[in-house]
């Protein structure tokens, strides 16, 4: 493919023009192969951030990123359906959700990532389980989907390599916030994974990437449109992320909480969101089952154990315990009126649960337990938060992040609303 000059492509978008399908296909391919320089793609990304792309451009950009690599062929005897979250604090939903949907009869190929900053990564959480491994090849993925029905593993390097290269560039050029680029980044990987259906959990609030419902709707709508353009049945669920999800924020502590849910317990918000997302996934897969009943039956926990064992893990092994635990007490009597998700996420990150740069190690035992959620009445001195870390010298920075995290009121506060804000179906 030739006949284009990258400067002309940049100029077209800089001046508010529409990129042709041919221009998009050429520039993404040439950038992936190294023919377009990093500074030139940075300029184009900034032009896209400022000028935007229409639905057709965004769909074609997504297709070009898919075409830069391979597509998985999931030849399995069950309908396939996937889920993606835009990231939140305490968001361990993949852990109970994948085995639950598998126990209902679907195949769930959950190719996941690692945490960066205040939002955790699914693979980091699961690596707290002794022996569990994230890296699987395509044959192993297909075999586990056939035998177990669910797999949670690392994305293979052959899927959408253009996205991996462009994502790293956007991270250092202040172009992350572009909705077309976010949407195409997420959807290119998910479409390349080969599922027949996709449910998107689009987080909204202080602990989410999208702080306002307006921006979250824009992103959700863009991704649903991309799915339709590429023949992937897609549903987007907008969910609240102003308060941490559940009580556990970190790695091992979130695994423990997910197991509680699979055993029939766990926090009500985690259970509610797991079941709500499962219903949407099963609808796309064409499966008539009640996920709440299946969860209560214990079948999802059995599938979890099989899934963990299939990847070398021991689901019965003790999870790592922190070397140091410190509590944050209530300053006075009152009712918890607010618990800021972003502040808690930053604290967990500073305790060692997350990383500042890709490739850095994380502490499996680090994290925060939220002992009092909004609506709880507390007394002066009562523990509100419990900090876990292997490195006590990190505690002061974590405490600084939590300085204004908890809001106390003198009277009862209205109950928090439904965690699901809205559902957009393709």
Can you tell me the distance from the alpha carbon of 197 to that of 398, in angstroms, rounded to the nearest whole number?
40
163 noted as active-site residue: yes
Annotated active-site residue 84? The verdict is yes
Residue 147 annotated to the active site = no
Pairing of β 377-378 and β 334-339: antiparallel
Cα end-to-end span (Å), the chain? 33
367 Cβ contact partners less than 8 Å away, ≥ 6 residues apart = 248, 249, 250, 251, 252, 253, 254, 348, 351, 353, 388
324-329 and 383-389: which strand pairing? Answer: antiparallel
Catalytic residue among 112, 185, 188, 364: 185
Quick one: 299 exposed, middle or buried, by C-beta within 10 A (0-12, 13-18, 19+)?
A: middle
- In angstroms, the Cα distances linking 7 to 47, 343, 372 are 12, 42, 56
Distance (Å, whole) CA 316 – CA 53? 49
Sign of CA dihedral 182, 186, 189, 257: positive
Judge contact between 364 and 251, C-beta under 8 A: yes
Other CB atoms within a 10 A radius of the CB of residue 360 amount to 10
Active-site pick, 13, 60, 83, 84:
84
- Catalytic: 185? yes
Contact 187, 62 (CB under 8 A): yes
Residue of 91, 163, 269, 340 marked catalytic:
163
Give the DSSP H or E segment for 293. Answer: helix 291-297
Query: Which of the following is catalytic: 13, 114, 170, 279?
Result: 170
Active site members: 84, 163, 170, 185, 189
């Amino acid at each position: 493919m030739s006949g284009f000059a990258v400067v002309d492509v940049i100029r077209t978008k800089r001046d508010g023009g529409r990129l042709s399908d041919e221009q998009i296909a050429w520039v993404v391919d040439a950038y992936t192969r190294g023919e377009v320089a990093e500074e030139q793609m940075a300029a184009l990304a900034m032009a896209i951030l400022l000028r935007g792309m229409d639905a057709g451009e965004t769909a074609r950009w997504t297709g070009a990123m898919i075409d830069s690599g391979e597509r998985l062929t999931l030849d399995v005897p069950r309908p396939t359906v996937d889920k993606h979250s835009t990231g939140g604090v305490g968001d361990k939903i993949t852990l109970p959700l994948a085995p639950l949907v598998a126990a209902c009869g679907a195949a769930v190929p959950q190719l996941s990532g690692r945490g960066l900053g205040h939002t955790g990564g699914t693979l980091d959480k699961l690596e707290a389980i002794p022996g569990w491994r994230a890296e699987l090849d395509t044959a192993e993925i297909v075999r586990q989907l056939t035998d177990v029905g669910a797999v949670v593993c690392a994305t293979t390097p052959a899927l959408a390599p253009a996205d991996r290269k462009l994502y790293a560039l956007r991270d250092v050029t202040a172009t992350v916030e572009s909705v077309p680029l976010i949407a195409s980044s997420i959807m290119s990987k998910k479409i390349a994974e080969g599922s027949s259906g996709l449910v998107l959990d689009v987080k909204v609030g202080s602990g989410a990437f999208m702080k306002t419902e307006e921006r979250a709707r824009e992103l959700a709508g863009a991704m649903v449109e991309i799915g339709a353009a590429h023949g992937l049945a897609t549903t987007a669920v907008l969910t609240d992320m102003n308060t941490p999800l559940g009580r556990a924020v970190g790695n091992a502590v979130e695994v423990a909480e997910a197991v509680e849910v699979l055993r029939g317990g766990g926090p009500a918000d985690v259970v509610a969101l797991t079941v709500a997302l499962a219903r949407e996934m099963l609808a796309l897969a064409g499966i008539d089952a009640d996920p709440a009943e299946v969860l209560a039956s214990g079948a999802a926990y059995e599938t979890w154990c099989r899934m963990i064992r299939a990847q070398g893990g021991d689901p019965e092994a003790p999870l790592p315990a922190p070397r140091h635990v410190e509590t944050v007490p209530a300053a006075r009597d009152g009712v918890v009126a607010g618990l800021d998700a972003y502040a808690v996420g930053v604290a967990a990150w500073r305790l060692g649960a997350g990383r500042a740069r890709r490739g850095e190690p994380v502490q499996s035992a680090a994290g925060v337990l939220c002992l009092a959620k909004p609506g709880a009445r507390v007394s002066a001195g009562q523990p509100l938060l419990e900090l876990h870390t292997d490195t006590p010298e990190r505690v002061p920075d974590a405490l600084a992040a939590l300085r204004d995290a908890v809001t106390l009121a003198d009277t009862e506060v209205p109950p928090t609303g439904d965690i699901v804000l809205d559902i957009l179906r393709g």
